[in-house]
Structure 1
Amino acid sequence: MAQHLSYEESVRGVWKGLALLALVTLVEVALSLLKAAEWAEDIRILIYVASLLIIGLSVYKAYFIIYEFMHMGYEVKGLAMTVLLPTMLLIWALIAFFNEGDAWRKSREKVIYKDQLEVPTGDDVGAISPREDDLLLALPA
């Protein structure tokens, strides 16, 4: 049987959890400001490491909130899996949609580029421009 905490112990646990979340949030904000710094723009490895740390800390915060404040850590495994599986499917869907959107963006850029090309139409097809005509007349025979 689960051990029940007293009211004071529960309040102390909530404050510790809030302090942990505040600390993680401050670290995330500091990393975000570091990425936005002008001197860090040229250091690509710093940007990648900071981005990975921000993602990792965000996942940890989500896990902690679900585990402690939504009480999933104290539930049976089957119930926890019914929450975890749709979450994993949602993450997979987000990754798939971002990849699909990126492919559409690249395809759209090609279409816009091809639309900007000038294609000769009507009488202009195969005609020599006046500048080329002058060059042909200037050539020695």
Structure 2
Amino acid sequence: MTSKPPALRRLIDLPGVDALEYRALLKRDFAEPEARAEFPEIDACTTALFGLTADEAEDLPRPAGWDNIENKAPAVQVAAFEAEGWDVTDDKRRPLRVLGHFSGPLWLAVRGVAGTLPYQAETDDSEALLAKLEADAKRFLKR
């Protein structure tokens, strides 16, 4: 029996990210780094989720061998985040417009350099296991 790979954690599903993405959809400038000074809710969201703001993440020294992934094109980051277990796209598989606000803190937290990752409860597959056992029992009883 092979186990399926764990589901990717979706950045847009974290508290507050969807609302910020919607605002960036309505106002393109909201996704720009300069928007953090005008809209404190961006920093509040990144701090609540990862323990540091995007500006703090930019100022932190990087360890030797750091690849500056947070400065690469969004498409490159999407693939790299998926390799780390994160989905940073919208429902149409496009990189989030607000990815620039979150990529620095998220990369630092994913790699264990600074900040923290939001809590994620363990997934409970007991219902799926119970359904499989019931199906196996029915097949057995039919024989």
Q: What TM-score bracket applies, with the shorter chain setting the length? A: under 0.3
- TM-score, with structure 2 as normaliser: 0.21
Larger fraction in helix: 1
* Structure number with larger C-alpha Rg: 1
Q: Which has the higher contact order (CA 8 A, sep 6+)?
A: 2
